[in-house]
Amino acid sequence: MPDENQERLATDLGAAVSLLMRHLRAASPQGELSPTQRAVIGRIDTDGPATTAALARAELVRPQSMRMTLSALEERGVLARSPHPTDGRQVVFSLTDEGRRMLTSVRQAKQNWLAVAIAERLSPQEQRTLETATALIRRLTQE
């Protein structure tokens, strides 16, 4: 059972991570993308082409909602659909070249913002502390 200090640390860490994520989203040149759209692009990039149903399950949304997200991304030229290789009733969505460019641009902008913030706002000692904290956060998120 966590004690008071651990509860406070959990609250503070959660708030700090949320604030960091907001800053990273703001640094992105693709600010007009919704969090779900960003998640879908990232998931397809990582896991490969996927069906609407698979993406909806992975993102914990209803298939109807995922269809709207996929349609918006397809309309922007970020995703392309193709027939499912074994099930003619389904389609598979994959990233287009434009989608890969967009994803690279978003990731680079976020990384650049964070690298500049670390260099300008943290002392060398604080940067080493952050490196240690990063390893600890990775351990917390291991399954």
Q: What is the DSSP letter of 91?
A: E
pLDDT tens for residues 65-106? 999 999 999 999 999 999 988 887 889 999 999 999 988 888
Q: What is the pLDDT of residue 27?
A: 82
Using a 10 angstrom Cβ sphere, with 0-12 exposed, 13-18 middle and 19 or more buried, the burial of residue 117 is middle
9-19 average pLDDT score: 94
Distance CA 25, CA 70 (A): 20
**Greater pLDDT, 15 or 25:** 15
Report the pLDDT value the prediction gives residue 30, as an integer from 0 to 100. Answer: 60
Question: Under DSSP, is residue 123 helix (H, G, I), strand (E, B) or coil?
Answer: coil
CATH code of the domain occupying 19-141: 1.10.10.10
Residue that has been written with the tokens 């949304």 in this structure: 61
Q: What are the extents of the domains in the chain?
A: 19-141
Q: What is the mean pLDDT of residues 5-15?
A: 94
The per-residue pLDDT for range 19-68, each reduced to its tens digit, is 998 888 888 766 577 888 888 999 999 999 999 999 999 999 999 999 99
Q: How far apart are CA 70 and CA 47, in angstroms?
A: 16
To the nearest 10°, report the CA torsion of 84, 86, 89, 92. Answer: -20
Least confident residue range of 46-50, 98-102, 120-124, 128-132: 98-102
